[in-house]
Structure 1
Amino acid sequence: METRGRKRKRDMEMRSPFSKLCDDLLVEIISRVPFKSTRCCKCVCRRWCDVVSHPDHRNKLPRSTLSGFFYKTGNLCCRVMNRHYESLTGNWCPDIDPSFSFLPKYRLCDVHIDMLDCCNGLLLCRRQQRQPYASDYRTTDYVVCNPTTKRWVSVPGTILSSKVLVARLGFDPIVSSHFHVFEFAPAAERVSMQLRVHARTKPLGIYSSKAGVWTHPDNWKCPIEIDRYSSSTFFRGLLYLSSCANKVAAVDMEGNCRVINIPTSDGSCVARDVYVSQGQLYFVISSASELSIWALEASSTENWTLKHNVSRLKLFGDEESSNYDVIIHPEYNVILILCTRFYSTTRTFTEIMSYDMDSRELHSVSDLGHDCKSPYLPYVPLFSHSLADGE
């Protein structure tokens, strides 16, 4: 016999507007919330739990969160950097092999694989192969791979690929299994080796895995500087890139560019980073005195809200011989801080720390080791085997 409390609960569920939605529409709604919220949806009622747990729906729902990050090591004497992966969540994610042994085999001395970007479970790498009788490398192509499932796709290079300073990946598994590669090359008049490092990027190439070709918008104009150290993130079909100026460039898949002004900060800015967390775009400003985090209220506006700030003194004490990179957790109000201390002009040591924005508590996580190099690419595993044109 049904108890009064259980009957009342069932009646409330039946009166809920969501009770009138079919399972497919309910899955479509839940698929657009972060991984943490998806887990909470299972606790709403028995029906929601069954919908989220059903095998037919799993590929449509967020199934993972931040598990670790990729990085490189090497000093000024090294010609080639070593690749590494640092796990942050224990053994729940399959072992990640940063050597990418699942890629086609090449003679180690003849090929160099450089990690460029990571987006929603896929990793973008550039393959450079040494030409016969040449002393340096020449870019041959790119590789987009899933380190979790070990599936990969080869992306052909362009005539400008050997001069490329910035290449980024755009991928949203909820929308499509296809991806886009954005290639920013320096202007033709500034491609000499002497100016290569500091050249401003002008030409834009966009590769579509669905079409299998590169497109180069003739009217591409970017009013801000984008260099190899520009932070980026892909969010709702737009690639957001930071710049040395107080601006963010938002580029869509057709090459249309919109510039967003960012809040100015007091003091000299050391770095500016853009991230997506909990379904919102964030901008991190690291100055000589503090670290501040701003949230964009709506993608169609330039209204930023200060979410949090913390003094450099609280994070590092009175140490001056240190630098740091930050990673905002995609699901929680937590910042990962990669603090690098300099012992000499060629020797560094990096420590991982976590900072909770709610409790304002700082904790040491682990020591990363010597001679670590940015960019630190946060990795959210993608367990789905759907990778368009995958090998």
Structure 2
Amino acid sequence: MAQGHMERTLLNVDPIAKLTDDILVDIISRVPYKSTCCCKCVSTRWRDLFSHRDHRRKLPQPLAGFFHESYCKNRFPRTVRYFHNVSGEGDPLVDPALSFLPRYDSIDILDCCNGLLLCRCWKTTDPKTMDYVVCNPATGRWVVVPATEWSSRVEVARLGFEPTVSSHFHLFEFINEEVWGIDQSKRSLDCYGRIETLAIYSSKEEVWKHHCLDRFMFAIPKNSKGGFLNGILHLATADDFIVAVDVEGNDWWLIDVPVQPHYDYPRDDAIFVSQRQLYLTNRTAGSDGSELSVWALEDYDNGKWTLKHTVGHLERFGALYSSFPRYFSVISFHPERNMIFIVYGQDNRLMSYDMDCRKVCLICQLGNDCKIRRDRTSFFRPYVPLFLDSLADGH
């Protein structure tokens, strides 16, 4: 009787206790992952909601790890894909071979966006032809997107997807002058690799639309880092600005980025999305690029960046690597924390750096065949699982 009286009293005092589990999970699923971590500590009931397998499909998930590739000319196959857990421990949480997909001669991961992967899949029947495949490794669902006549030669293709907005996705193909077929004598002399046309595919309309970019002058490096936020794709260009375009291809922004003085090496800007904000990382302070700065885009319309963090080389890595001040690459931001991930040193160590407590943590050593170079950085794709069946008309 005493226990029943206590439960009735709790229901009268706490209106949240009157909510069913399904309603409570739906509410929690709408807040950022960082806040959901705090929710686990509210009560035993709330903690159990997170561990229930049915509810895990609705709640935001933490960063699981990174896809990456290594290359060695003395083995077969020469290129191998891996998945490293963010903890640096245990078996891979995701099958890097993506064995749930149909059989293809080879598969290249081009982009990862909010739990979905964009893959370029070369056919076994004709190695010169390919499909785009968008897939969800957490559920094993996938959908084939028809390639354009330029797809096999396009170097920059990206994915746009926001599961809180729609189950549909968009593909972006940035087609340069050479791939588009412009005669060499008529190509731009001031902008090598200039993007001539943008093709956008909508999974809702199931059609490609092409947009001529005659009024723009920019090139995008093959491994340009970027992010998709609020229906807009952002990519770092080869110059001192980033390019942003909406999913319809109608609205464009060319946003200047902070230019640091006394930096004698080619720019190495990287664009990331974290905590619903756009961030930029670049090298600063001195001709050796030994310091790293982190900027946040505070005013989108006016292109105003705010310096959020600066960290020196010795503070990041210590004296052990002091002879390699430029041998590092920022590969990702944590989606819900003030943390960046870096690959550093000749032994290619994957590290995290917490900007709040200024703490470096070694995750794992990737090996010498994971090359991090200025001209061709081995791709890294951060992966956050998505347990919703969010692929419209997928398999």
Pairwise TM-score range, normalised by the shorter structure: 0.7 to 0.9
For residues 246 and 32 of structure 1, what CA distance do their matches in structure 2 show?
36
Name the residue aligned to 1:332: 337
Q: Partner residue of 2:139?
A: 149
User: Are the aligned partners of 2:235 and 2:242 in contact in 1 as well (CA < 8 Å)?
Assistant: yes
Aligned length in residues: 367
Q: Secondary structure in 1 aligned to 2:348?
A: strand
Aligned residue in 1 for 2:258 = 263
Query: 1:257: Cα distance to partner?
Result: 1.5
| Secondary structure at 1:372 match in 2 | coil
Amino acid at match of 1:332: R
**Structure 1 residue 314: deviation in Å?**
2.9
Amino acid corresponding to residue 69 of structure 1 in structure 2? F
Q: Aligned equivalents of 2:20 and 2:306: distance in 1?
A: 37
Paired residue secondary structure (1:271): coil
Deviates more, 1:363-372 or 1:314-323: 314-323
Are positions 1:280 and 2:274 aligned together? no
Matched-pair contact (CA < 8 Å) for 2:135–2:142 = yes
8 Å CA contact 1:190–1:199 kept in 2: the answer is no
- In structure 2, what is the equivalent of residue 345 of structure 1? none
Kept in 2, the 8 Å contact 1:126–1:139? The answer is no
The one-character-per-residue Cα deviations of 1:282-331 (angstroms, maximum 9, x if unpaired) are 11113413111111124444221111111124334422386222221112
What residue identity is the alignment partner of 1:368? Answer: L
What letter corresponds to residue 382 of structure 2 in structure 1? P
Give me the whole-angstrom Cα distance separating, in 1, the residues matched to 2:116 and 2:310.
31
Q: Which residue of 2 aligns with 1:180?
A: 170
Q: Residue 381 of structure 1: SS of its match in structure 2?
A: coil
* AA aligned opposite 1:277: S
CA shift digits 1:321-350 (9 cap, x unpaired): 862222211122222111141xxxxxxx31
Q: Which residue of 1 aligns with 2:219?
A: 225
Please tell me the residue identity of whatever aligns with 1:292. Answer: S
Amino acid corresponding to residue 164 of structure 1 in structure 2:
V
Q: Distance in 1 between matches of 2:69 and 2:335?
A: 22
Indicate the residue corresponding to 1:381 in structure 2: 385
Kindly provide the amino acid, as one letter, of the partner of residue 103 in structure 2. Answer: K
Matches of 1:367 and 1:290, distance apart in 2 = 22
After TM superposition, give the deviation of residue 251 of structure 1 in Å. Answer: 1.1
Hey, what's the Cα distance between the residues in 1 that align with 2:90 and 2:166? 26
| Aligned partner of residue 315 in structure 1, secondary structure | helix
* Paired residue type of 2:261: D
Distance 1:9 1:103 in 2: 49
Pairwise CA distance, 1:254: 0.6
Per-residue deviation, residues 230-284 of structure 1 (Å, max 9, x unmatched): 1111111111101122211111111132111222223325411111112221111
Q: Which shifted more, 144-153 or 321-330?
A: 321-330
Instruction: In structure 2, give the amino acid aligned to 1:116.
Output: L
CA separation of 1:353/1:207 partners in 2, compared to 1, >3 Å: closer, same or farther? same
**1:320 corresponds to 2:320:** no
Determine if contact 1:222/1:257 at 8 Å carries over to the other structure.
no
Q: Is the 8 A contact 1:60 1:174 kept in 2?
A: no
Query: 2:381 corresponds to which letter in structure 1?
Result: L
* Aligned twin of 1:303: 304
TM-score when normalising by structure 1: 0.80
Q: Which consecutive residues of structure 1, in runs of 5 or more, have no partner in the other structure?
A: 342-348
1:117 to 91, 94, 111: 111
Please give the alpha-carbon distance, in whole angstroms, between the structure 2 residues aligned to 1:10 and 1:44.
Answer: 18
Measured in 2, the distance between the counterparts of 1:84 and 1:375 equals: 11
Contact 1:124 1:143 in 2 (8 A): yes
Q: 1:130 to 1:52 in 2, by over 3 A?
A: closer
Query: Which has the larger share of strand?
Result: 1
Please state whether the residue corresponding to 1:167 is helix, strand or coil: strand
What amino acid does structure 2 have at the position aligned with 1:212? Answer: E
Which residue matches 2:97?
99
Return the alpha-carbon distance in structure 1 between the equivalents of residues 241 and 146 of structure 2. 31
Does 2:85 correspond to 1:84? no
Q: TM-score, normalised by structure 2?
A: 0.79
Q: Alpha carbons of 1:57 and 1:366: their partners in 2 closer, same or farther (altered >3 Å)? A: closer
* 1:92, distance to aligned residue in structure 2 (A): 9.5
Unaligned runs of 5+ in 2: 372-377
Distance (whole Å) between structure 1 residues aligned to residue 327 and residue 183 of structure 2: 30
SS in 2 for 1:38: helix
* Cα pair 1:30 1:38 within 8 Å, conserved: yes
2:375 maps to none
What secondary structure, in the 3-state scheme, does the structure 2 residue paired with 1:101 have?
Answer: coil
